[in-house]
Structure 1
Amino acid sequence: MIQFENIVKRFRRQRVLKGIDLTIERGHRVALVGSNGAGKTTLIRCLLGEYICEGRVLVDGMNPRQYRREVLSKVGFVPQLPPPLHMPVGQLIRFSATLCDSDPSRMISVAGQLGFDAERFHNHAFVKLSGGQKQKLLIAIALGRESELLVMDEPAANLDPEARHIFFELLAEKKQRAAMLISSHRLDEVATLVNRVIEMDQGEIVLDDRVADLVELSSRLYCRIQLLQAEAAFAKAITEWGFRDLEAGLLWEGTIAGPDRLRFLSLLSRYAALFSNIEISEAEGQASTTRRGRTINVV
């Protein structure tokens, strides 16, 4: 699917990529991680044909600079920073669908699943949307088509918890048919989404490892949290995850997306001293009425 062969990229005298060799096949869900300046974005831009580089980049055997339209028709791309487009939402969807010969109604439908009403904002300039609305629309454009390669840079950063769960479900639908390259500077944000981790540092690959593919992307976890005392800061944080207060700030209940488990546990770790009991179990169906799993007791 994707081949990088001895890729070198220079900006003036500085080598930003230093001989990258990498192959990514369909079904691979790759976390591309590394600190700022590691070379992740530069590598992605070489893949998309935006940069001239030494070596050879191939997508299904095609050079992305020589066969730009053919390659980009296979790629769904979600950038970290939304482009400053003044184009109306409706026009952007039609334009994007035309480029990849896709049905714009499918993009509108995916946007709706994520919680963004594209038809309501049909005449609104993209640049005037909120950060979350922009992210949902860009994801809808990338996933609302038959992409064979998904390239995503911090794709769920601005999504609310429910939209994140829908996003993970949409990825699950494509996981066998497409290759996915998910860039992030934090592994805990994407670890449960992927089956391969590639770490970059100073323009080189320093780790390429397969990881256990045990988390179902469309899964949900039920969580019940009991506190020793009510805490306003915790209440605000947990409410943003859609949790319900069952007992005057002392008992909370809710569900989280399975792939969000590390991110959620990271949140809980900030308030560990408050907890008397935490129950996290696999949820069956959409409700928390039937559950199986184990209880974690925090003393």
Structure 2
Amino acid sequence: MKLEIRELKKSYGKKQALKGINAVLTEGVYGFLGPNGAGKSTFMNILTGNLKASDGQIFYDGENVAAMGSRFREILGYMPQQQSLYPNFTAEGFLSYMAALRGMKKGRAGERIPEVLRQVGLWDVAGDKIGSFSGGMKQRLLIAQAVLDEPKILVLDEPTAGLDPKQRIAIRNLISETAVGKIVLIATHVVTDVESVANRILLIREGELLTDSTREELTARLAGKVWELKVPEERLSDITASGDCLVGNISREGDLLFVRVIAEQAPEGYTCAPMRPGLEDVYLSYFNE
């Protein structure tokens, strides 16, 4: 199973949203990371057929997906970013509706709907109206419709948008459980959404794919460059204004601040400890955010 993207481009007038994306995806979970406006949603919409590319091609096992048409859509599951759900539908009714749109046979839909509702932890509210659901429940229902017909390719656009930390963890765990045997692509600007579940990380900025690497490869590039400084509060501005390092997390303990920075060498004049690089450090180094 292989999904190949070749020189994918998208322009809106003079603005280039995608500038020639190339990637090869096989079975596994891929984190598609980048700041807002980087081109993630544009790429997702082209992949799912909601938007037409200006140039470039996408192949599934060597066959152009444009020529595959409905055969490609049959193996594709998509969770959009927006929670566009019908509030007066029940969870079970919504999935029945989605099954009909996908052309699933009634017998198969009747088997799969209870299965996926149990899988996402919504079987006990299957008969409740969606309008009464919390944000986390709606996100789980969107994942349920995406995996309803057991797709080989699963595309998730900002799957934890607007959720609290507990709900984010639940959604990430659910993605791990449903990802077996699939190509899963998660587009997000939230590093923690993919740090624990993704096999590979794709970083995109202003429509350009910067890198396609494992988390270990990315963090290894920052080995010996991540530090934690003990800083009196009045000296914090000296660090942020110096331009010698990138400032990440800042936490407080009593009268001292603990400042995580990325720098080629340990900053002088501070109590300083080397730290193990993480994916947030990688994100900061690429996007300075």
TM bucket, shorter chain: 0.5 to 0.7
Match of 1:38 in 2: 38
| Percent of pairs with identical residues | 25
Gap change, CA 1:120 and 1:92, over 3 Å in 2:
closer
Flag structure 1 segments of 5+ consecutive residues without an equivalent: 214-265, 274-299
Kindly tell me: are residues 131 and 88 of structure 1, through their superposed partners in 2, closer, same or farther at Cα, counting changes over 3 Å?
Answer: same
* 1:49-72 Cα shifts (integer Å, max 9, x gaps): 111111112234444444332212
**Structure 2 counterpart of 1:93, which letter?**
L
Q: Tell me, yes or no, if the aligned pair for 1:46 and 1:57 is still in contact at 8 Å.
A: no
Q: How many residues align?
A: 215
Q: Which residue of 1 aligns with 2:13?
A: 12
Distance in 1, matches of 2:118 and 2:168, equals 10
Instruction: Report the Cα distance in structure 1 between the residues aligned to 2:51 and 2:17, rounded to whole angstroms.
Output: 12
Match of 2:93 in 1: 91
User: Where does residue 112 of structure 1 map in the other structure?
Assistant: 118
Give CA-to-partner distance per residue, 1:164-223, whole Å, 9 cap, x none. Answer: 447625634533x1111011102222111111000000000012112359xxxxxxxxxx
1:194 aligns with 2:201: no
CA offsets 1:221-269 (integer angstroms, 9 cap, x no match) = xxxxxxxxxxxxxxxxxxxxxxxxxxxxxxxxxxxxxxxxxxxxx9xx8
Contact 2:172/2:197 (8 A) holds in 1: no
1:56 aligned counterpart, secondary structure: strand
SS for the counterpart of 1:91 is helix
CA change 1:34–1:103 in 2 (3 A) is: same
- TM-score, normalization by structure 2: 0.64
Whichever residue aligns with residue 107 of structure 1, its letter is I
One-letter code of the match for 2:199? N
2:166: which partner in 1? 161
Structure 2 match to 1:290: none
Q: Distance in 2 between matches of 1:61 and 1:25?
A: 12
- Which amino acid letter does the alignment assign opposite residue 179 of structure 2? K
Deviation at 1:20, TM superposition (A): 0.9
> 2:258 — aligned with what?
none
Tell me what 2:176 maps to.
171
Q: What is the alpha-carbon distance in structure 1 between the residues aligned to residue 109 and residue 31 of structure 2?
A: 29
Considering only aligned residues, what root-mean-square deviation do their CA atoms show, in Å?
A: 3.0
1:132 matches 2:125: no
Which amino acid in 2 is paired with 1:40? K
CA distance in 2, matches of 1:65, 1:127: 36
1:219 maps to none
SS in 1 for 2:114: helix
TM-score (normalizing by structure 1): 0.62
Segment drifting more, 191-200 vs 129-138: 129-138
Closer/same/farther in 2, CA of residues 95 and 69 from structure 1, 3 Å limit: farther
CA contact (8 A) 1:78 1:139 kept: yes
Q: How does 1:29-108 map to 2 (within 5 A)?
A: 29-53=29-53, 54-85=55-86, 88-89=89-90, 90-98=92-100, 99=102, 101=104, 102-108=108-114
Q: Select which of 165, 183, 207 maps to 1:203.
A: 207
* 1:50–1:65 Cα contact (<8 Å) kept: no
Partner of 1:235: none
Q: Say if 1:18 and 1:55 are closer, same or farther in 2 by CA, change over 3 A.
A: same
Shift of 1:100: 5.7
After the TM superposition, which of the residue ranges 157-166 and 82-91 deviates more from structure 2?
Answer: 157-166
Cα pair distance change 1:130/1:188, threshold 3 Å:
closer
For residues 133-172 of structure 1, give each alpha carbon's deviation from its aligned partner in whole angstroms, at most 9, with x where no partner exists.
2111111222343221111122244377378447625634
Q: Distance in 1 between matches of 2:192 and 2:175?
A: 20
Does the C-alpha gap of structure 1 residues 271 and 146 become closer, same or farther in structure 2, counting only changes over 3 Å? farther
Secondary structure, aligned partner of 2:127 = coil
